């Protein structure tokens, strides 16, 4: 890593810029002065409506020169749904080969889950969602054509490349955690082509990790267990679309999307990784300082961890945990910027 960490900041639409401003504030309070350099990029609905541009190649090339990207959210009622999601969010994942989409699902002490009586210790998992393949490939621009058989074959190819890599990554993650347990979530009995590939890959990779317990769970059952017995999950590895659905439910049971962090990672660092809250642009409360910046701040902690700033990541997480513990009464009435200020102060100590 270069001496100065270069971070590209894309606030985006709606509440995106507000929450990302707090993430940047906390990063700057945590990381040694002059150690990071941020560059803001004007991308999202406003630029699209003004110029028709979503992610010009020249900007993509500039982004490639950064160590990481902090992304708020995109989406605006004036832009047809899907255009910015495909052209910006997914394009970044595809172009920078961010084949691991990492999403912790953890209940912090003091946070209330909608699951009655859920204890903090019962919800602590890491979802390793494949980030660049599966059903999302079509969204990247390759329209599938042909007979059902040909399309099925094409789908098989679509899930051929990332599976091995993301499975290996998930085993490494599981091996580094106390419980050392990995669950493959899929629908192998029905989606036989892609499903077989995932299952065979799990079995083949497992032999290299004798300490990790590897299991398989159907996706529909996994959603039920997530609500009825979430303690059985440690690390989950899953397909792109299943992971999208699973982590949305996970975010809610862990206290809401205001707290859910996410990272789209290129593990080899052949391109920058993107750190973004799971939530969307929430245009209804944009500009009102009502959004919770915690998910964006926790995503910044994941950024630090990815870049090897391990103690900085831990300090941000601890500051957030302390803040969450005290969120009662008037604490809930803070503005977006006040939450960012308070967490920054805690990081400084």
Q: Where are the beta strands (DSSP E) in the chain?
A: 5-12, 36-40, 68-73, 100-106, 124-130, 181-186, 213-218, 235-238, 263-265, 273-275
Q: Residue 85 binds which one of ligand IPM, Mn ion, none, with CB within 5 to 8 A depending on kind?
A: ligand IPM
Of residues 74 and 324, the one with the C-beta less far from ligand IPM: 74
> Left if phi > 0, otherwise alpha if psi is -120 to 50, otherwise beta: which for 338?
alpha
Return the residue nearest ligand IPM (CB atom). 85
The conformational region for residue 255 under phi > 0 = left, psi -120 to 50 = alpha, else beta, is left
Residue 250: CB minimum distance to Mn ion, A? 11
Rounded CA-CA distance 31/304 in Å is 9
> Looking at 7, 26, 90, 123, which residue binds ligand IPM (CB under 6 A)?
90
Residue 99 Cβ, how far from ligand IPM at the closest point, in Å?
A: 13
Q: Tell me phi and psi for residue 38, to 5 degrees.
A: -110, 140
**In angstroms, rounded to a whole number, what is the distance separating the alpha carbons of residues 79 and 114?**
33
Among ligand IPM, Mn ion, none, residue 90 binds (CB under 5-8 Å by kind): ligand IPM
Q: Does 89 bind ligand IPM (CB under 6 A)?
A: yes
Angle 83-98-2 (CA atoms, 0-180°, nearest 5)?
Answer: 120
Question: What's the closest the beta carbon of residue 85 comes to ligand IPM, in angstroms?
Answer: 4
Structure tokens of 340?
A: 């960012």
Q: Which is nearer to ligand IPM, 89 or 319 (CB)?
A: 89
Q: Which of 223, 233, 13 shows the shortest CA–CA distance to 121? A: 233
Residue 278 binds ligand IPM, judged by CB under 6 A: yes
Look at residue 322 and give the partner it binds from Mn ion, ligand IPM, none, a contact being a CB closer than 5 to 8 Å depending on partner kind. none
84 binds, among Mn ion, ligand IPM, none (CB under 5 to 8 A by kind): none
* Contact pick of 172, 244, 322, 341 for ligand IPM (by CB under 6 A): 244
89 binding partner (options Mn ion, ligand IPM, none; Cβ < 5 to 8 Å by kind): ligand IPM
Least distance CB 89 / ligand IPM (angstroms):
5
Annotate each residue in 242-261 with x if it binds Mn ion (CB under 5 A) or - if it does not, as one string: --x-----------------
- Taking contact as CB under 6 A, which single stretch among the options 41-49, 84-92, 282-290, 341-349 is the one that binds ligand IPM? 84-92
CA distance 245 to 164: 22
Number of residues in contact with Mn ion under rule CB under 5 A: 1
Nearest residue to 275 via CA among 47, 30, 98: 98
Any residues with CB less than 8 A from the CB of 142 and at least 6 apart, and which? none
Question: What residues contact residue 9 under an 8 Å CB cut-off, 6+ apart?
Answer: 20, 24, 38, 39, 40, 41, 69, 70
Binding to ligand IPM (CB under 6 A) within 110-149 occurs at none
> Is residue 85 close enough to count as binding ligand IPM by CB under 6 A?
yes
Give the binding site for ligand IPM (CB under 6 A).
85, 89-90, 244, 278
């Amino acid at each position: 890593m270069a001496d100065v960490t270069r971070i590209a900041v894309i606030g985006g639409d709606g509440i995106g810029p507000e929450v990302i401003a707090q993430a940047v504030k906390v990063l700057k309070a945590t990381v040694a002065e002059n150690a990071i350099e941020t560059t803001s990029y004007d991308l999202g609905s406003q630029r699209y409506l003004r110029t028709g541009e979503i992610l010009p190649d020249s900007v993509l090339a500039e982004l490639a020169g950064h160590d990481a990207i902090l992304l708020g959210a995109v989406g605006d009622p004036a832009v047809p749904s899907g255009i910015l999601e495909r052209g910006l969010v997914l394009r970044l994942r595809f172009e920078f080969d961010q084949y691991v989409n990492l999403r912790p699902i953890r209940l912090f002490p003091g946070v209330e889950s909608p699951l009655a009586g859920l204890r903090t210790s019962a919800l602590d998992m890491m979802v390793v969602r494949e980030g660049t393949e599966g059903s999302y490939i079509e969204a990247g621009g390759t329209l599938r054509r042909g007979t059902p058989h040909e399309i099925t074959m094409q789908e098989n190819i679509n899930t051929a490349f990332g599976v091995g890599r993301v499975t290996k990554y998930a085993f490494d993650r599981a091996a580094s955690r106390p419980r050392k347990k990995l669950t493959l979530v899929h629908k192998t009995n029905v989606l036989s082509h892609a499903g077989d590939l995932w299952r065979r890959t799990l079995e083949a990779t497992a032999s290299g990790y004798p300490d990790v317990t590897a299991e398989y769970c159907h996706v529909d059952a996994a959603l039920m267990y997530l609500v009825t017995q979430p303690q059985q999950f440690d690390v989950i590895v899953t397909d792109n679309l299943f992971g999208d659905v699973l982590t949305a439910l996970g975010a809610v049971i862990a206290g809401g999307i205001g707290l859910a962090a996410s990272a789209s990672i290129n593990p080899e660092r052949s391109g920058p990784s993107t750190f973004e809250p799971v939530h969307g642009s929430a245009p209804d409360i944009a500009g009102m300082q009502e959004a919770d910046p915690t998910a964006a701040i926790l995503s910044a902690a994941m950024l630090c961890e990815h870049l090897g700033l391990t103690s900085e990541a831990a300090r941000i997480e601890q500051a957030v945990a302390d803040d969450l513990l005290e969120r009662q009464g008037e604490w809930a009435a803070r503005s977006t910027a006040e939450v960012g200020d308070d967490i920054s102060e805690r990081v400084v100590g």
